[in-house]
Structure 1
Amino acid sequence: MIYLTAISLYLGALIMMGVYKSKKIKTQSDFAVAGRSLSPWVLVGTMLATWVGTGSILGNAGKAYETGLAALMLPIGGVMGVMVLTRIAGKVRGIEKFTVPEIIGSRYGQNARVLSVVALVMAYMVIVSYQYNAGGAVLHTVLTDDAGSSILSLQACTAIAVAVIIAYTMLAGLVSVAYTDVVNGVVMTLSFVIALPILWHTAGGWSGMEQAFAATGRDTHMQFWGVYSGFDIVNFLLPPFLLAMGDANMYQRFSASSTSKGATKATILLVFAVIMIELAIISSAWISSSMIPDAANGRNVLIYASHQFLPTALGAIMLTTMVGIIISTADSFLLVPATTLIRDVYLQYVNPDADERRIVLLSRLFVLGLGLIAYAVSMGFAQSATFFDKALYAYTIYGAAITPSLVAAFFWKRATSTGAVASIIAGTVVTLVWKEAAFIQDIVPGFIYQNCDEVLPAIFASILCLVSISLLTPKPGTETLDEPGLQAGETQPT
């Protein structure tokens, strides 16, 4: 009962916070970028809570259950992507755009902007969908007794998670989630620091884990090298690397910073924070997996471990924090496409003169609509793949389609609008058809097709189109996005 009580109190507090903050939301800037008022410390907290979501708590942790110690290399891709962002964060705050498609449109024009909206919404709906599934999985575990029966079905638990996430996002947008993210980040970090030695002792240390893994035929779980093939490493590390460099959540938070220097400082701190918490999550999952022979429980290894292996109070805190992180991530990945549709579609093509009150109302309605679409996607994905697989697929859609052109907008003056459009189309199409179209198997060698996921061919096609077509078309009139205030269609003086 203590687990359910802790989570219920937390969810109630979140809704109350949202109601309180919603009264202060007067403009789209308030709703989407917290009035551009976030300090570096608040900024790093909200970026950490957004990045370390279900992909880490259930995705990477689940892969640690499957493969063991070798999973410690999984955060490398994301960390390297965040390191690249340290060179971009200040520039994003300087140009004062709300959305990634706005940035792309300023550099490449309206066609690239619209295509990036499509790719972003597709990818983010998949990401939100598995946040819903994760929230439902936590609630279902909490409500399950030792005999394996629960007072609510998994589907009902997921529906509750959906309702809370949508309501919380609709109420106050980024301004409500940013400050609770700081608390979530601190509590999550402290919880794992305390839980690690407890789990290690419970598992019997290194020797106890060796014996447990050997007894269940999982001897390779104690090995770091030789577990993943070269293709595995590329398939696992490249998608989060690409997502981190182009994640619209990060760019929206850069825009929410009070200053450009604050955005850069927060991103540098984020590199170290991500390393610490990701390693703690995977280590906890690896240690716990030695005590969980049942793969059905191992699928949600950290949820099960918090419920079964930790002292009740600590377990309740861990589970509550997981719920908080899942809600925060889902909130962010709902807010970004809602803001994007408002700024890059509604204000561009439907009603450019809409007043702030209408914009805020429509932003909330877009959150509701997108949230329901993501729920439909979540029902289709519920049993079709692991959280890890879902995360990699969503990261690839976004990273292959948008990241190359987005990064080039800041660093490569020769990139052209035609090259960017071709890059976005190529990255999206190759991701969608690689495993689905029968003709791909006829033209690609079997060994490559069986071992290579969508990410490598998709990013290769995207970059090839961007570079080759840019070099074959006339030089653009715009430069890289270094100056504030650049609007779509404007050029910087040469």
Structure 2
Amino acid sequence: MSPLYAAVLAVILVVLLSVSLSRVRKTHTRQDYLVAGRSLPAIVLVFTLLSSWIGSGSLLGGAENAYNHGLVALWQPAGGWAGLLLIYFIAPRARRFAQYTIPDLLEARYSQAARVLGVIAILFAYTAITSYQFIGGGDILSLIFPQQISPDQGKYIIAAFVICFTALAGMSSVAYMDLFIGLLATGALLVAMPVLLHSAGGWAGFRASLPASHFTPLGDYTPLRAAEIFLPTCLLMLGNQSMYQKFFSAKSARDARRAVVGWVIGTIILETVIVLIAMLGHALALRHQATPKPREIIAFTALHSMPAGWGNLLGALLMGAVFAKVISTANNYLFSPATNLVNDIYVRYITRNPSNRRVLIVSRLMVVLLGVWSLYQALHTGSVLKATLYAYTIYSATLTPVVLAAFYSKRVNAHGAVSAIAAGTVITVFWDTAFVHAHLPAVLADRDAIFPALVVALLCLGVVSAVTGPPDAAKLARFEASTAQE
């Protein structure tokens, strides 16, 4: 089977490389590289949003959760669905703001300090997200070539591909690769699920193969535990810089809003299918007395659980789709913080008014450096699910409340925003340390960081703003004018 799977992966890589090279010829300016010349139509936006959101966090972390606990794993993507419903109203305003990054927004609404702290939070979160894409890609290569490539060697290979693809043409390269990847993944996942369900003996056979708790809304979770995986995803979705950059890249506010509608529908369908495929893969693995790693269950299912004959081709396409999704998400989350370092640090504080050529060179250098840092993290990460929640929490507890307040609150000021970002970041980064566990009761220290980090950030946002006076009236007026409804 390996030659077929290898051939599919090779074709996918050639197509992705061709797309990247084709976009390089159209990338001449800072705006071309960072926001694709603000030219992306709705159809491209839909698939680049889908591809950037559904990556190893869903295909490995979510699948790992579904393998171990069943349908309760849907609480994690459901947070994203809830966030998407609110984003429908935010997207047009974000597009009208028409800048490059979330820290652009933070400085326009708050202060330079908010911009810098926002960059730091994004670097922590997005390089962590990129790192577990490298883990996912490495696992896939190791499954297909078990004698030739170890998981760690696979991480190096995937990191090299991702860094190359991302550095070539920036947002334009990322978006148009995502169009191909989104179409491939959507088709493969939707065809594979009914095929696997039939192999598992239909719905009755499927249910009989797994514990009954796997098919209940909470499974073996408590409501608090369900909220701990729901809330970080919801808040990450609402403040996701990669998403806002796509909106900044849209041809118009109308294209941005239309893209959100397609994104909502696609995300609900695909993430539900991913959870069901992970559960079906678990059922089929039990039938064949196999013991795959939970996080690898979708790739393992594509390799070992498809029917003979034409099912091998479907398995290869499913494996290729997972592989391409991992690369796509890594591209997006590696490109985004590189944009921050260039736009929010280099252009803002180091070299004023650099030439387009210099910006492109520095941008590509930042992609390489952040890719190496992400690879280092990948080589020292255990659970993808744990890494996913850590990355989501950093972002959701620190930046999302501040971003939403920028659009919807006239009372929050720069002091409140800066204190909220700083407090949320510090609590999340240090929550799992020995110091915290030694000085807090176990009932609190053993919980995930999302609630303590979010509560402290919100308190800082509200209380500090209340005691330090109203925001700068002129700055607030300029920001509201830049995002006003048409």
Does the pair score TM above 0.5? yes
Alignment TM-score, normalising by the size of structure 2: 0.94
Q: What's 2:252 paired with?
A: 259
Q: What's 1:461 paired with?
A: 456
Q: What's 1:280 paired with?
A: 273
Cα offset, 1:17, TM superposition: 2.2
SS of match in other structure, 1:428: helix
**1:446 paired to 2:442:** yes
Distance 2:215 2:55 in 1: 26
Cα offset, 1:440, TM superposition: 5.1
Distance 2:320 2:169 in 1: 21
Cα offset, 1:111, TM superposition: 0.6
**1:375 paired to 2:372:** no
Letter in 2 for 1:91: R
| 8 Å contact from structure 1 (residues 91, 482) kept in 2 | no
Q: What's 1:66 paired with?
A: 68
Distance 1:132 1:229 in 2: 32
Cα offset, 1:456, TM superposition: 0.7
Q: What's 1:21 paired with?
A: 23
Distance 1:417 1:221 in 2: 46
CA RMSD of aligned residues (A): 1.6
Letter in 2 for 1:7: L
Distance 1:72 1:400 in 2: 21
Q: What's 1:113 paired with?
A: 115
Cα offset, 1:205, TM superposition: 2.2
Cα offset, 1:83, TM superposition: 1.6
**1:94 paired to 2:86:** no
Structure 1 gaps, min length 5:
145-149, 487-494
Q: What's 1:313 paired with?
A: 313
Letter in 1 for 2:135: N
**Structure 1 pair 226–23 and aligned structure 2 pair: CA distance change class (3 A):** closer
| 8 Å contact from structure 1 (residues 246, 399) kept in 2 | yes
SS of match in other structure, 1:414: coil
Distance 1:288 1:394 in 2: 27
| 8 Å contact from structure 2 (residues 141, 149) kept in 1 | no
| 8 Å contact from structure 1 (residues 72, 283) kept in 2 | no
SS of match in other structure, 2:380: helix
Query: Could you list the per-position Cα deviations for residues 74-97 of structure 1 after superposition, in whole angstroms to 9, with x for gaps in the alignment?
Result: 321011112221121111111111
Q: What's 1:171 paired with?
A: 168
SS of match in other structure, 2:469: coil
SS of match in other structure, 2:160: helix
Range that drifts further, 411-420 or 5-14: 5-14
**1:195 paired to 2:197:** no
Distance 1:10 1:454 in 2: 38
Within 5 Å, give how 1:235-250 maps onto structure 2: 235-250=228-243
**Alignment partner of 1:154 out of 130, 141, 151:** 151
SS of match in other structure, 2:433: coil
Query: Could you list the per-position Cα deviations for residues 207-253 of structure 1 after superposition, in whole angstroms to 9, with x for gaps in the alignment?
Result: 3234433xxxx443243344210221121111111110111000000
Q: What's 2:42 paired with?
A: 40
Distance 1:82 1:55 in 2: 17
Q: What's 2:482 paired with?
A: 484
Letter in 2 for 1:46: T
Distance 1:25 1:140 in 2: 35
Within 5 Å, give how 1:285-300 maps onto structure 2: 285-293=278-286, 294-300=290-296
**Structure 1 pair 83–441 and aligned structure 2 pair: CA distance change class (3 A):** farther
Cα offset, 1:286, TM superposition: 1.2
**1:429 paired to 2:426:** yes
Letter in 2 for 1:236: I
Q: What's 2:300 paired with?
A: 304
| 8 Å contact from structure 1 (residues 298, 304) kept in 2 | no
| 8 Å contact from structure 2 (residues 75, 229) kept in 1 | no
Distance 1:73 1:399 in 2: 16
Cα offset, 1:295, TM superposition: 4.4
Cα offset, 1:177, TM superposition: 2.2
Range that drifts further, 186-195 or 421-430: 186-195
| 8 Å contact from structure 2 (residues 200, 206) kept in 1 | yes
Distance 2:179 2:427 in 1: 38
Cα offset, 1:302, TM superposition: 0.4
Query: Could you list the per-position Cα deviations for residues 389-410 of structure 1 after superposition, in whole angstroms to 9, with x for gaps in the alignment?
Result: 1111101011111111111000
Letter in 1 for 2:256: A
Aligned length: 472
**Structure 1 pair 437–408 and aligned structure 2 pair: CA distance change class (3 A):** farther
**Structure 1 pair 406–295 and aligned structure 2 pair: CA distance change class (3 A):** farther
Q: What's 1:397 paired with?
A: 394
Distance 2:291 2:412 in 1: 48
| 8 Å contact from structure 2 (residues 213, 220) kept in 1 | yes
Q: What's 1:491 paired with?
A: none
Cα offset, 1:271, TM superposition: 1.3
Q: What's 2:468 paired with?
A: 473
Letter in 2 for 1:155: D
Letter in 2 for 1:79: W
SS of match in other structure, 1:483: helix
Q: What's 1:489 paired with?
A: none
| 8 Å contact from structure 2 (residues 420, 460) kept in 1 | yes
Distance 1:249 1:439 in 2: 32
Range that drifts further, 324-333 or 68-77: 68-77
Identity %: 34
Q: What's 1:140 paired with?
A: 142
Distance 1:440 1:59 in 2: 25
| 8 Å contact from structure 1 (residues 58, 388) kept in 2 | yes
**Alignment partner of 1:230 out of 223, 247, 261:** 223
SS of match in other structure, 2:285: coil
Structure 2 gaps, min length 5:
none
Distance 2:401 2:157 in 1: 37
Distance 2:206 2:21 in 1: 47
Distance 2:108 2:128 in 1: 27
Distance 1:341 1:438 in 2: 31
Distance 2:196 2:84 in 1: 30
**Structure 1 pair 295–464 and aligned structure 2 pair: CA distance change class (3 A):** farther
Distance 1:350 1:69 in 2: 50
Q: What's 1:129 paired with?
A: 131
**Structure 1 pair 312–296 and aligned structure 2 pair: CA distance change class (3 A):** closer
Q: What's 1:490 paired with?
A: none
Distance 1:190 1:13 in 2: 17
Distance 2:222 2:346 in 1: 46
